[in-house]
Structure formats: C-alpha cells, structure tokens
Amino acid sequence: MRRSNKKQIPSKNGIGKIEKVELHQHVDGSIPVDITWKLMKEHRLNPVATKKEMERLLVLQEGEEGALLRYLDKFHYPAWITQFYGNISYVVESIVKKAYQNGVRLLELRYAPIIHTFAGLTLRQTISSVLTGLNRAKRKYPIETGLIVIAMRHQGPHIAKILARQAIAEAQQFHERTGVIGFDVAGAERGNPARLFKEAFDIARSGNLGLTIHAGEDEGPEAIWEAVDILGARRIGHGCSAIKDKALMRRLAKDQVLVECCYTSNYQTGAVPMGAPHPIFTFLEYGIPIAICTDNTTVSNTDQIRENEKLSKWLTTAQLQEIHRKARAHSFIHATPNIRENLPPQHDLERPRFNHSKK
C-alpha cells in the first residue's frame, strides 16, 4: 500500500509501477544535491555561493562524459560532509527514500568505509553509521535493504583484508536488523589486478558475505576471468568488456554469474563508447543474468525510473519487470540465513554438560 506522503515519481509505460531491484548503487555518488547543499551550509563548508553552482560540482555535466577521471572527480565534495556519524546516517536515509519513490523495493547500497574515516571515525563506526541510516529508513518505507562493503583497489590488498574482517563484524547474519551482506573491490583496475585480492575475498567468503567486484569497466575480459576463477565472485559490477570474449560469456551464462549493468554510468565513464550498443543486450542474448542499476544517482543524474525508461527503447515493460524479478534471486540480502535463527533452542544451550556440584 502506498502512503500519501511518499510521492511516486511520474513515469512512462507503467515503469514507475515495476517493483525494482537495485543491486549496484554507491552511497557517496547518490546523495541528493539538496541534502549535500543543506549539510554543506550547516557545516559552513560550501565552496560556492548557490545550490545551482554546487549542483554543477556534484553532477556530471554535458561535455564531461567519456572519461573515468572526470567522473571520479565528482566524488570529491560528498566526502567533505560524510565524515560524521549523524551526517552519514542522514544521507543514507535520504537515498533510501528517493529509491523507494522510484519503485525500488529491494536496495543494496555499497560504500567504501575507509574514505569516511578522515575525521576520526573508526572503520566499524562508519559501517554502523550507514546501517543506522538503513534501519531508520526501513521503519518508514517498506523496502528491503542491505550494505555491501567496498575495498578500494589502490589502497592495496592488505587494507582490503582488514575491511573484509570489519565487514564480517557487522554481517547481517549476526544481527536482527539490517547488516552487511556483501563485499566488493572497486577503483582503478589497471595496475591493481583482481587476483591480488584473493585473500580478502577468502575472508569475506568465510564470513558468508556475498561476493561481487567491479571488473571489466576499465580493463579487458581477463579481469573478469580473474574475478570469477580466482576470487569466486558471484556477481560482476559493470563487466562491459566481457562481450569481447565469447568463452567468458558462455561461462557467465553457465554459472549464472550476474552482471550489474549501469547503462548511463557506462557511457559517462567511457566504459562503453558513445554510440556503441550497450553490452546489456548481448548479455541477455547469452542468457547471462543481469540487473538494471544506477551506480550513482547524483553523479550520473539518473534513478531507477530513468534507467528503465532509457532501456524501454529496446525492452518492453514486461521484459524489464522480468529482469527485476530475476535479479531478486541474486540479491545477497537473503543469501545467508540469519545465524541467530539457526541456534539450538535456548534450553539446549543452558543444559549443563557436567555436574560439578555433587561429589
């Protein structure tokens, strides 16, 4: 049931009504401009005088598309305000609200905790600040949520191992409320091959976290082979270069490795050249599971409705609906049963195994 105060965004072809599954969305690239501006002003950090000027610094502009570095430059200012526990929870709540208004009913957010420790928050605090935001949002909107912890490639495999351990500490299976559901490695692929992160992925796997990785966005198919063969990734972020390798495409289909497709973002970063067809259609032809994802709603100036509307040029509303329905099965939210539910009944735990009181 829709509540009157949670307005739905208008859309074409009934796209707004599709129950959407979002599996690849970053916190720092998705903070609504209004919220960033409000926090900037509150903390007196605003580098420009007006919200309009601020928007140009946060959202990729016409003429800036086609280069990953120009895209990444937009993540500079959000980091100024997301160094504080309350701010992080607040921005996360606002992201969930927007997603809900776009018809998202299952939302996996992702986040690189280390980028939010510069003012003194510990890794654990930065993770729990996001979880607080997700839990608050969940009380207001009927939406399933979970958090994927990201290790940044350029910070190296050792830091990634530390992050994998921190991620396990807040894993959903140990909590009644929203927790960490997955682990990801993101950032510059060149010079930081996936295979170096094997130990971090082994740790995450040992904690029953779902495994995904940004691969094949800025590198060739070999990066995706490594992600699947060496790291055991069950999902691939972007994966654009996979279409260059038919054997890899068959492998992704055979093992049902889902590709998290980010249509708008891929053209903006240059992962897919302007004018070229998006690999999403070839993935579908091969029977590779896909998810329609926004990547960064603010930087990419998009949302779930816009992504689906863009794809509706080639796919019917029924096909889009089916993609979301199938993507749900690949969510990490339900992948691991809650460990608390699997504990033996309380009286079993309390029964003493030895009675030392009598002699």
> Which residues of the chain form contacts with Zn ion (CB under 5 A)?
295
In whole angstroms, the minimum distance from the beta carbon of 38 to Zn ion comes to 25
Among 22, 93, 189, 217, the one annotated catalytic? 217
Q: What are phi and psi of 259, to 5 degrees?
A: -100, 125
Least distance in angstroms from the C-beta of 181 to Zn ion: 16
Nearer to Zn ion, 110 or 161 (CB): 110
Look at the chain and count its residues: 359
Q: In the bound complex, which residue of the shown chain has the CB atom lying closest to Zn ion? A: 295
Smallest distance, Zn ion to C-beta of residue 239, A: 11
- CA torsion 326-175-110-97 (nearest 10°) is 80
Helix (H) or strand (E) holding 281: helix 280-286
Evaluate whether 186 touches 150 at the Cβ level (below 8 Å): yes
Q: What span, in angstroms and rounded, lies between the C-alpha atoms of 231 and 7?
A: 42
188's CB contacts (< 8 A; 6+ apart) are: 153, 154, 218
Give just the sign of the alpha carbon dihedral 105, 25, 177, 9: negative
CB of 30 to Zn ion, least distance (A): 10
| Amino acid identity at 226 | E
Q: Which is nearer to Zn ion, 28 or 295 (CB)?
A: 295
User: Whose Cβ is closer to Zn ion: residue 299's or residue 333's?
Assistant: 299
What are the strands, taking DSSP E only, across the chain? 20-26, 104-111, 144-152, 180-186, 210-215, 235-238, 258-261, 290-292
Q: Please, what is the minimum distance in Å from the beta carbon of residue 186 to Zn ion? A: 6
**CA dist., res. 205 & res. 291, Å (int):** 22
- Two tokens at 94? 């606002």
**Nearer to Zn ion (CB atom), residue 170 or residue 295:** 295
Closer Cβ to Zn ion, 141 or 267, answer by number: 267
* 307 is annotated as an active-site residue: no
Question: CB of residue 150 vs Zn ion: minimum separation in angstroms?
Answer: 8
Please list the alpha-helical segments (H only) found in 31-122: 33-42, 51-58, 68-72, 78-81, 85-101
CA distances from 272 to 31, 263, 279, 309 (A): 25, 9, 8, 19
Q: Which is nearer to Zn ion, 185 or 305 (CB)?
A: 185
Alpha helices in 255-356 (DSSP H): 263-269, 280-286, 304-311, 317-328, 346-350
Q: Which residues are catalytic?
A: 217
